[in-house]
Amino acid sequence: MRPIARRRTLVAAALTALTLAAAGTVPAAAAQGDHGGRGGPHRTAYYLALGDSLAAGYQSTPDGGHVVGRGYAQDLARTLGARAGRDRRPFEFTDLGCPGETTGTMAGGGCPYPHSFTGSQLEAAVAYLKAHRKDEVLVTVDIGANDVQRCAAGGSLDLPCALNGIEQVRTGLDRILGELRAAAGPRTRIVGMDLYDPFLAAWVTGDQGKALATASVQLSESLNGVIASVDARHRVPTARVAAAFDTGAFEPTVPLNGQRVPLNVARILQWTNMARGDIHANDTGYRVIADAFLAELPKQYPN
């Protein structure tokens, strides 16, 4: 999902790993992590977050500014890091998410937001995974929103644009997951994610908004169906974010700001910043997304 501002600096360790990988050298942390069998107190657990502004943790602020690095990936990293710490295991988190990324730019380069890696995000991710082939690595992927979100701009839905965007997601995500799978080691877990529908917020703007909100759910279901299908083809579980946000639930209605609105509309207005026109999740929404990813992992992961 596309914001407008500068990107935060990536973790220095990530840059080191990518540089060494490009030179054909396995980082010391990866080599050391190979000792001790399948788990053990000294084996490092790694988490790599990939995707767009949701992976980057972008949020607008009430004063018209923004923050990055405060999203689901950070929430998930805190939970996994705490679990690893209880087992006396080191934990490393790397976030390559680039705001504005589409499936095309993720694979081919050209993310419009400043970023530290050269080439494409996919190339950087592949180098990271090759450097950590023997390690326990979790990879989360969210991508596809920017391929279609422009199709609902201006208060109406451009159906040909939407169908073309969904097809771009089908082919682009297939390439992305294929290359990630090829680079990943046997102890790498890749988890994808479907998407909530920010355009449900249009419901509260009147009859035309209700029509847009209704149509947007149909678009969301089509897009999420494609994401789930491609994920399954690559044996990647899909975090069910749309279900967590009750995206299809126009019933029941619930109270919100002195009126009654459908449950799915309330979720969007309470769990994202759409009340001020920002499609990104807020702290509550990002926690819901993190929990959807956790639901696709073993209860004690990493173990």
Given pLDDT bands bounded at 50, 70 and 90, which one contains residue 154? confident
| Residues found in the chain | 303
Tens digits of per-residue pLDDT, 176-230? Answer: 999 999 999 999 999 999 999 999 999 999 999 999 999 999 999 999 999 999 9
Determine the Cα–Cα distance for residues 299 and 130; give it in Å rounded to an integer: 27
293: amino acid identity, one letter? F
Q: CB under 8 Å to 284, separation ≥6 — which residues? A: 270, 271
Q: Give yes or no for a contact between 213 and 164, defined as CB atoms under 8 angstroms apart.
A: no
Helix boundaries (H) for 39-100? 53-56, 72-86
Query: Residue 265 falls within a domain, yes or no?
Result: no
Alpha-carbon distance of 105 to 127, in angstroms, equals 17
Helix (H) or strand (E) holding 45: strand 45-51
Phi, psi of 14 (to 5 degrees): -65, -40
pLDDT for 227-258, tens place per residue?
Answer: 999 999 999 999 999 999 999 999 999 999 99
303 falls within a domain: no
5 lies in some domain: no
Residue 216: domain span: 12-244+283-294
If we measure between CA atoms, which residue out of 215, 221, 220, 223 comes closest to residue 157?
215
Confidence of residue 13 (pLDDT cuts 50, 70, 90): very low
Query: Which single residue is written with the structure tokens 């530290």?
Result: 116
Name the least confident of 32-41, 90-99, 233-242.
32-41
| The predicted structure's pLDDT at residue 116 | 79
Instruction: Note the pLDDT of residue 252.
Output: 98
Instruction: Return the H-helix or E-strand segment holding 256.
Output: strand 253-256
User: Exposed, middle or buried, 90 (CB in 10 Å: 0-12/13-18/19+)?
Assistant: middle
User: Tens of pLDDT along 277-287?
Assistant: 999 999 999 99
Which residues are within 8 A (CB) of 121 and not within 5 positions of it... i.e. 6 or more apart? 50, 96, 97, 98, 101, 105, 106, 111, 115
pLDDT of residue 1: 62
Q: What tens digit of pLDDT does each residue of 112-141 get?
A: 998 879 999 999 999 999 999 999 999 999
Q: What percent of the chain has pLDDT over 70?
A: 86
Q: Say if residue 302 is preceded by a cis peptide, omega within 30 of 0.
A: yes
Residue 40 is predicted with a pLDDT of 52
Residue 58 lies in a domain: yes
Residue 168's pLDDT is 98
> What pLDDT is recorded for position 184?
98
Position of tokens 């990104």?
280
Q: CATH code at 60?
A: 3.40.50.1110
Give 3-state DSSP helix, strand, coil % of the chain, rounded to 5: 50, 15, 35
pLDDT for 9 equals 33
Inside any domain, residue 81: yes
In a domain? residue 268: no
**At CA 207, angle to CA 274 and CA 218, rounded to 5?**
65
Is 192 strand, coil or helix?
A: strand
Domain count, the chain: 1
CA–CA separation, 19 and 26 (whole Å): 10
Residue 219 lies in a domain: yes
The answer to the question of residue 69 being in a domain is: yes
